[in-house]
Amino acid sequence: MPTAVATRSAESGRPLAPAFDAVDRPDREGILDCVHCGLCLPSCPTYLTTGLEMASPRGRIHLMRAVDEGQAGISADFVKHLDQCLGCLACQTACPSGVPYGYLLEAARTQIERRYERPAGDRRLRRVILSLFPHPERLAWLLVALSWYQRLGLSGVVRNTGLLALLSPRLAQMEALLPEVPSAAARRPLPGVTPAVGQRLGRVGFLTGCVQRFVLPDLNRATARVLAAAGYEVVSPQGQGCCGALHLHSGDLETGRALARRTIQAFERAQVDLVAVNAAGCGAAMKEYGHLLRDDAEWRSRAEAFRARVRDISQILAGVSWRQELKPVPVTVTYHEACHLAHAQRIRKEPRLILQRIPDLQLVELPESDLCCGSAGVYNLLQTEMAGRLLQRKIDRIRETGASVVAIGNVGCLLQIGLGLRQAKLPVRTVHPVELVDWSLHGMPDGEPRA
């Protein structure tokens, strides 16, 4: 590991001006918390894949420190290594010093987006992604076009010719990730209120998300049904939008803050006891609203109150006593731990607990269960080569289990691993744990596996 950089110029001896500016700069104390012990290395997917020091958390922190102390600038090399980070936060789980790597990464990326000019093609793709995926109203219209694109057989032609991959590997990846578009009827919004079944235990707000409400609507319907069966009145605020997670991970903290305020307002109006989330990345972002809005006097206390009500769906269901309501689901299941569930939210036992309660369901452990699959928000669209290598490693581990179903608590991972299983022609179905609970309560579905 390189030694710590000095804070003075070797030529002049004068202090050098920091290359980071004062707006959302990485916290200097957080950078200095890293003692470069290397315990994060075995947990870092990009380091395990490349073996490069600068592709590790401590290597990236070293780069941040060099920029912060004026020994380096926000260069193409700096950007490359920060972009290649998945933001999976496995390093935070491993770190004995409590280095706030996630906050440092988001702040460094904010500096990059404001102060570094990316190549034109990169800028255009990022603009398309952030102007599309976090906007449900735009996605709704796009899904209409994509539905016809699939019905007319154009999808098969594009994939078989490989033309799109030649023109743009990133666009080809985006197209390949798309599962069969659900029907217009399936894409209809959830009702504003789903009544509790039996004795009412409370009123739960449900984040319906941006992508899953259109691409995986069965997941949202299963979530509402299961919560209702558990005794919760489920409120799906119709005015809710994006939680801001994609912007936060992409270095646009200001837009992330605006979306956080909008999300808080939507659920405040709904007057709910808890806020349920079935997408690990969204839940992790929402649980950090207190930190995100810590310098906003008007919103700080509201953000803290909101954050305290956010629960991953597995946290709620782990506390439900189903008595004799659960029926057998005779399948062999393995469980992939989404990064923002296992590492960001430190939720590990709850998903396994709810799966173990289902009669006749055999749960087999997945080797390297908490190693990133390469999805990481929109990472698989921007860093296609690294994402593909990580996906192949994940598919190899799933194959070793012999499971017919892989349970996954995050929407991006469901799509990414579903793509890998299709490409490998493995007859393994991808489902969210809440869907398995729904099968147990309301019957197993017919039809072909989603993967």
pLDDT tens profile 338-369: 999 999 999 999 999 999 999 999 999 999 99
Please tell me the predicted confidence (pLDDT) of residue 244: 94
> What DSSP state is assigned to residue 449?
-
Tokens coding 191 = 């009702």
pLDDT digits (tens, 9 = 90+) for 215-226: 999 999 999 999
Residues 199-218, mean pLDDT to the nearest whole number: 93
Domain ranges of the chain: 28-115, 120-177, 193-317, 332-442
Q: Closest by alpha carbon to 130, among 293, 252, 23, 277?
A: 252
pLDDT surpassing 80 at residue 154? yes
Task: Specify the pLDDT at position 132.
Answer: 85
pLDDT at 12: 45
pLDDT digits (tens, 9 = 90+) for 368-413: 999 999 999 999 999 999 999 999 999 999 999 999 999 999 999 9
Instruction: Give which of 255, 268, 259, 256 is closest to 301, Cα–Cα.
Output: 268
Sign of the Cα pseudo-torsion (324, 327, 331, 334, in order): negative
The confidence score (pLDDT) of residue 451 equals 37
Q: pLDDT value at position 187?
A: 87
Tell me: the pLDDT tens digits for 67-80?
999 999 999 999 99
| pLDDT at position 267 | 96
Q: Are 19 and 67 in contact (CB under 8 A)?
A: yes
* Tokens of residue 140, six digits: 């709704």
Mean pLDDT value of segment 45-63 = 96
332-442 belongs to which CATH class? Answer: alpha beta
Q: What is the pLDDT of residues 117-140, one digit of tens each?
A: 999 989 998 998 888 888 888 888
What is residue 16's predicted lDDT score, i.e. its pLDDT? Answer: 53
Tokens of 360: 């006749």
Q: What is the pLDDT of residue 158?
A: 80
Q: Given pLDDT bands bounded at 50, 70 and 90, which one contains residue 169?
A: confident
The predicted model gives 326-346 an average pLDDT of: 96
* Residue 145 CA to its chain's centroid (Å): 26
Please report the pLDDT score of residue 174 as a whole number: 78
Distance CA 342, CA 451 (A): 23
Q: Determine the pLDDT at residue 221.
A: 96
Provide CATH code, domain 28-115: 1.10.1060.10
Q: Tell me if residue 398 falls in helix, strand or coil.
A: helix
- Give the pLDDT score at 2: 38
Q: What is the pLDDT of residue 17?
A: 57
Could you give the CA distance from residue 30 to residue 253 in angstroms, rounded to a whole number? 18
pLDDT of residue 391: 97
Q: What is the pLDDT of residue 359?
A: 95
Of 3.40.50, 3.20.20, 1.10.150, 1.10.3470, the CATH number of 193-317 is 3.40.50
What is the pLDDT at residue 1?
Answer: 41
- Residue 167: predicted pLDDT: 75
Is pLDDT larger for residue 178 or for residue 385? 385
Residue 9 has pLDDT above 50, yes or no: no
Classify each residue of 298-327 as buried b or exposed e, where b means 16 or more C-beta atoms within 10 Å of its C-beta.
Answer: ebbebbeebbebbbbbbbbbbebeeeeebe
Cα dist from 400 to 21, 379, 451, whole Å = 49, 26, 17
pTM (predicted TM-score): 0.91
Query: What pLDDT is recorded for position 408?
Result: 98
3-class DSSP state for residue 251?
Answer: coil
On the question of a common fold for 193-317 and 332-442, the answer reads: yes
Q: Average pLDDT of 40-52?
A: 96
The helix or strand, by DSSP H or E, that contains position 82, with its residue range, turns out to be helix 76-83
Residues 451, 449: Cα–Cα separation, whole Å = 5
Please name which of 197, 187, 206, 358 lies closest in space to residue 267, comparing C-alpha atoms: 206
Which residues are within 8 A (CB) of 318 and not within 5 positions of it... i.e. 6 or more apart?
Answer: 349, 350, 353, 354
**Six-digit token pair at 316?**
């709620």
Q: What whole-number distance in Å separates Cα of residue 405 and Cα of residue 398?
A: 9
DSSP 3-state of 154: helix
pLDDT of residue 166 exceeding 80 = no
pLDDT tens per residue, range 286-324: 999 999 999 999 999 999 999 999 999 999 999 998 878
pLDDT given for residue 312 in this prediction: 98
